[in-house]
Amino acid sequence: MFSERLRALRTGQHLTLESLATELNAMFPTDKQHENTPAQIGNWERGVRTPSYLEVQKLAKFFDVTMDYITGLSENTAYDLGRLFISDKDLTFNGQLISSADRYEVYQLIAGYLHGRDNRTTESTHQQGNQEQLNLNINDK
């Protein structure tokens, strides 16, 4: 499971084996003898070798996933955007860094939208008792 997750994370970010090794070495500097190599990462992806605990930890931090996710112990299917927006993590949109001021604005937009949606749903539920519903399904004949 680890090898499939690693390959999916890498290719999902359009990284080559070489670029991933370079970025890992830049993010987690070490001596030349212990730097990550494209061949090493390729062996992990093919299941030929198993990375150490520290290497899995580095990969999880780099891809911003849990170690349980990257090793296949859990599914990472839900994210709380509110917590993400107030975290100290860098956020990007289509490769462009979102500033703290923009983060606040986007957070407010989402919160306002959800609050308004909840109010519209509540109001429309109350109004449906007094009005006939219109069926716009054109496939019914």
- Could you give the dihedral angle defined by the CA atoms of residues 47, 52, 53 and 54, in that order, rounded to the nearest 10 degrees? -120
What pLDDT shows up at residue 87?
75
What pLDDT shows up at residue 141?
47
The listed CATH number (3.40.50.300, 1.10.260.40, 2.10.109.10, 2.60.40.10) that belongs to domain 2-70: 1.10.260.40
Six token digits for residue 72 = 């296949």
pTM of the complete model: 0.55
Domain ranges of the chain: 2-70, 81-128
Percentage of residues in the chain having pLDDT higher than 90: 39
Residue 113's H or E segment, with its range, is helix 100-128
